[in-house]
């Protein structure tokens, strides 16, 4: 593994990383970069596809995930794989989602250079826009990280609090902050041959001792795994259809959770189609058998159906929850369901690009008792 | 005699939706019929081309609309007309039952069984077994839940 140290100038990690990215663009190693950058109103950070190094003013540490970058890359590469190299700066969860999308033939990684950033967690969009602290959200979370504090946790999205994999896997280049003193230096690692080539041409110092990082990664992973386990335990203590109906009480059937989900890729979702339209007499018959029922009907069926279709690839990014206009805490059921289902099939989405999705493969000698008793 | 009839009326009759594969289970059910083997009439059979074509959605829709039980019938493993449809159905069933378990919905209401075209007797026996099992479970609580 090739490792380099990026010296941080003036305690400004964001700007220092921006300089490296600028160098990538200037040298022509990438034709374009997909990076998070403040929009002119300075309210939010959005992914921008940028080709002019002079216009680059990225903020890779902004604690915000406004849209799925995996889905953006799927859009760019599904029709035709990229002909020129594109560098994409991504959160770890989005890299996992992108790997899943390639398995589903919805994206191509050809000429896509993935630059993964260690994730410190992200805030909900609304919190980010109206941030209650003095500093801006990026300064706040970086300062909190440097001082090893715990102040930012109360603002984090629920998915980020229990995220057990905030470190990029399957990236070409990793921008590492865990275990580093980011007021002085940031680690830049190459995980693939392509990444190695790019890194060797950048004028950066060789890294010496990164043992502290390995230890920190392990510590963070262990702590988060514990948190995740207790989260699953807590949220599955309430179960049953009555609880489920109450959980989705507020759902307005907008299907936004499906639209923002990086995994949901169907051009037309079954639930947006006319499959569930029927003659009035069928509705009346249902009303007669139940005496009454809530309209629009089938909203719980939508959530359960969607869950059945995507849960094995769920990367627990929490975009569904962020996209919900009614603030339904979707992670409370999707994280336990994902954990349990993925454990059943011993499958970790986004981990191994060569491993197939469990629903399209089988072994003859597995689950032999299913269907017999 | 009159009292006996009254009791029978009050007994809960489960409604079971069955998805039977065209090549094995449906033919098995047919054989049960042509051989005049008696079995409880609680199942409403829907013929599908393969158990592998039964999306979890079909099962969920039946359950959420108040079916007391859902039955999926396929060819024995290795005998699928489409080579591997039932292996995929098997995995899908594992996933569905796992999710139902997490959410606390009775997964005992969803059955999958392998019944070949020659097993008319097995089909009748399975129907009897399932009807009794569902009768014991009682009516599906979802059918009373109007706000889903």
B119: domain range? 13-140
A50-59, A255-264, B3-12: segment of lowest average pLDDT: B3-12
Task: Please check the confidence at residue A238 and state whether its pLDDT lies above 90.
Answer: no
Task: Please check the confidence at residue A131 and state whether its pLDDT lies above 60.
Answer: yes
Whether residue A65 is found in the same domain as residue A162: yes
Q: Is B56 on the interface with A (CB under 8 A)?
A: yes
The pTM (predicted TM-score) of the whole model is 0.93
pLDDT confidence band for A2 (50 / 70 / 90): confident
Mean local confidence (pLDDT), A223-252: 93
Mean local confidence (pLDDT), B4-33: 86
Task: Please check the confidence at residue A210 and state whether its pLDDT lies above 90.
Answer: no
Identity of the residue in B90, B95, B146 whose CB atom sits nearest the CB atom of A308: B95
Phi, psi values for residue A326, rounded to 5°: -100, 10
pLDDT tens profile A342-357: 999 999 999 999 999 9
Domain stops at, among A232, A249, A267:
A232
Maximum C-alpha span of chain B: 54
Domain stops at, among A232, A254, A278:
A232
Whether residue A143 is found in the same domain as residue A254: no
pLDDT confidence band for A204 (50 / 70 / 90): confident
- CA of residue A121 relative to chain centroid, distance: 10
Q: Minimal Cα distance from B108: which residue of A? A: A373
Mean local confidence (pLDDT), A104-122: 95
Identity of the residue in A239, A243, A308 whose CB atom sits nearest the CB atom of B57: A308
Phi, psi values for residue A369, rounded to 5°: -80, -15
Chain-chain contact of B61 with A301 (C-beta, under 8 angstroms) = yes
CA distance B1 to chain A (A): 31
pLDDT tens profile A77-106: 999 999 999 999 999 999 999 999 999 999
Task: Tell me what percent of the residues of chain A surpass a pLDDT of 90.
Answer: 84
CA distance A271 to chain B (A): 10
In a domain, B1, yes or no: no
Q: What is the number of structural domains in chain A?
A: 2
pLDDT confidence band for B45 (50 / 70 / 90): very high
Whether residue A211 is found in the same domain as residue A252: no
Q: Minimal Cα distance from B96: which residue of A? A: A308
Chain-chain contact of B105 with A359 (C-beta, under 8 angstroms) = no
**What pLDDT is attached to residue B64?**
92
**What pLDDT is attached to residue B144?**
86
Whether residue A259 is found in the same domain as residue A219: no
Q: What is the DSSP letter of B50?
A: -
Identity of the residue in A245, A337, A364 whose CB atom sits nearest the CB atom of B102: A337
Chain-chain contact of B102 with A340 (C-beta, under 8 angstroms) = yes
Task: Please check the confidence at residue A8 and state whether its pLDDT lies above 70.
Answer: yes
Q: What is the number of structural domains in chain B?
A: 1
A58-67, A119-128, A177-186: segment of lowest average pLDDT: A177-186
Task: Please check the confidence at residue B2 and state whether its pLDDT lies above 90.
Answer: no
**What pLDDT is attached to residue A212?**
85
- Tell me the chain B residues in contact with residue A370 when contact means C-beta distances shorter than 8 Å: 90, 93-94, 112
Size of the A and B interface in Cβ pairs below 8 Å: 127
Phi, psi values for residue A303, rounded to 5°: -65, -45
Mean local confidence (pLDDT), A220-229: 95
A77: domain range? 2-232
Provide the 10 A C-beta neighbour count for residue A36.
23
A6-15, A91-100, B12-21: segment of lowest average pLDDT: A6-15
Do the Cβ atoms of A190 and A168 come closer than 8 Å?
Answer: no
Mean local confidence (pLDDT), A146-154: 89
Q: Is B133 on the interface with A (CB under 8 A)?
A: no
* pLDDT, chain A, mean: 93
- For residue B43, what are the β-bridge partners? B16
CA distance B11 to chain A (A): 18
In a domain, A369, yes or no: no
Chain-chain contact of A241 with B141 (C-beta, under 8 angstroms) = yes
**CA quadruple A132, A137, A139, A142: dihedral sign:** positive
CA distance B30 to chain A (A): 20
Domain stops at, among A232, A248, A277:
A232
Whether residue A268 is found in the same domain as residue A145: no
């Amino acid at each position: 593994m090739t490792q380099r140290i990026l010296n941080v100038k003036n305690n400004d990690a964001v700007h220092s990383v921006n300089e490296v990215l600028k160098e990538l663009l200037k040298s022509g190693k990438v034709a374009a970069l997909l990076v998070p950058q403040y929009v002119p109103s300075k309210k939010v950070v959005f992914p921008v596809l940028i080709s002019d190094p002079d216009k680059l003013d990225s903020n890779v540490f902004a604690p915000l995930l406004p849209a799925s970058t995996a889905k953006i890359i799927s859009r760019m590469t599904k029709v035709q794989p990229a002909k020129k190299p594109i560098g994409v700066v991504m959160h770890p969860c989005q890299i996992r989602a992108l790997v899943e999308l390639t398995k589903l033939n919805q994206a191509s990684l050809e000429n896509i250079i993935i630059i993964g950033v260690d994730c410190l967690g992200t805030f909900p969009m609304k919190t980010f826009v109206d941030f209650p602290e003095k500093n801006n959200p990026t300064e706040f979370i970086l300062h909190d990280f440097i001082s090893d504090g715990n102040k930012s946790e109360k603002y984090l999205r629920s998915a980020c609090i229990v995220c057990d994999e905030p470190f990029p896997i399957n990236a070409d280049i990793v921008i590492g902050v865990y275990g580093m003193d980011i007021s002085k230096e940031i680690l830049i690692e190459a995980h693939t041959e392509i990444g190695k080539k790019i890194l060797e041409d950048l004028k950066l110092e060789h890294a010496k001792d990164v043992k502290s990082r390995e230890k920190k990664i392990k510590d963070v992973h262990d702590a988060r795994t514990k948190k995740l386990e207790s989260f699953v335990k807590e949220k599955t203590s309430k179960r049953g259809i009555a609880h489920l109906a109450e959980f989705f009480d507020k759902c307005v059937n907008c299907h936004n959770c499906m639209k923002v989900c990086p995994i949901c890729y169907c051009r037309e979702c079954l639930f947006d189609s006319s499959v569930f339209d029927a003659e009035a007499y069928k509705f009346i018959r249902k009303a007669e058998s139940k005496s009454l029922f809530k309209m629009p009907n089938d909203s719980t069926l939508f959530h359960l159906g969607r869950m059945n279709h995507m849960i094995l690839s769920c990367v627990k990014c929490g975009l569904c929850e962020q996209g919900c206009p009614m603030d339904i805490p979707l992670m409370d059921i999707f994280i336990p369901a994902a954990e349990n289902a993925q454990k059943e099939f011993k499958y970790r989405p986004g981990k191994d690009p060569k491993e197939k999705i469990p629903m399209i493969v089988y072994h003859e000698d597995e689950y032999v008792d299913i269907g017999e008793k | 005699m009159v009292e006996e009839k009254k009791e029978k009326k009050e007994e809960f009759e489960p409604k079971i939706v069955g998805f039977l594969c065209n090549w094995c289970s449906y033919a098995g059910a047919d054989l049960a019929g042509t051989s005049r083997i008696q079995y409880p009439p609680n199942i409403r059979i829907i013929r599908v081309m393969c158990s592998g074509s039964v999306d979890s959605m079909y099962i969920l829709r039946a359950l959420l609309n108040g079916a007391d039980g859902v039955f999926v019938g396929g060819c024995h493993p290795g005998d699928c007309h489409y080579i591997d449809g039932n292996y995929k159905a098997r995995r899908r069933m594992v996933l569905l039952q796992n999710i139902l378990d997490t959410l606390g919905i009775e997964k005992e209401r969803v059955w999958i069984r392998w019944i070949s075209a020659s097993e008319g007797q097995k089909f009748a026996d399975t129907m009897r077994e399932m009807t009794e099992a569902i009768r014991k479970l009682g009516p599906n609580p979802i059918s009373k839940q109007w706000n889903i």
